[in-house]
Chains A and B, each alone.
Chain A
């Protein structure tokens, strides 16, 4: 149980284009989803927290107009990297907590999306 599916797993795009990454909870309802970015040999960096039906909360230093997050349903959150540039190339990972999950519930992660901007 508690499977999170993230798509696509890899994407290559040209500079200036936008890329959408989907994160779905397959067998549970995710009231809260988190989007992380991970650089090689670095920790997971939280970008934003999204709650179903409300605006995402972005971490300091993360441009909300650059990284658009939509959590329109209890099973789907999307991250759109707008006007991508090479410095946006990274590994993006989503995670989710179940509806009954309390603050100490473990996170269920997707398998990540490797974004390369050329």
Chain B
């Protein structure tokens, strides 16, 4: 069956450290992968998109990698801050498909 798993339901890290979140998928061949941030009681907000032929994407303190052989994406937040505390969702899209398939999310808490 198709699955999208994010490494842990919750992740706590110390302020200033790098947070690394994992997204693993099975039985999908995504054309691209997106990462979203969701705060409690709010809708997700788009952060980054990476295509199947890209290995890495960066945006300010954020970095995403995409390994189609391992069927895995890693999402890094460097120099983490308490304001980065939120739930982070990965989402897969298939070629030509309009909708996205979401993982269950990882709740990140950055401790001051």
Contacts and interface: CB of A to CB of B under 8 A. Distances in A.
B49 A106 contact: yes
Nearest to A106: B46
B-side interface mostly:
loop
B67 interface: no
A95 B102 CA distance: 13
B104 A41 contact: yes
A103 B95 contact: yes
Interface residues of A, number: 24
Nearest to B43: A109
A91 B49 CA distance: 25
A38 B94 CA distance: 22
Chain B interface residue count: which class? 20 to 34
A46 B103 contact: no
A6 B9 CA distance: 27
A49 B99 CA distance: 8
Contacts, number: 55
B1 to A, nearest CB: 14
Interface string A1-14: 00010100000000
B31 A104 contact: yes
B8 to A, nearest CB: 12
B42 A44 contact: no
A43 B42 contact: no
Contacts of A97: 98
Given A93-B44, A112-B41, 9 more contacts: A43-B103, A93-B43, A103-B95, A104-B31, A104-B51, A107-B100, A108-B46, A109-B44, A109-B45
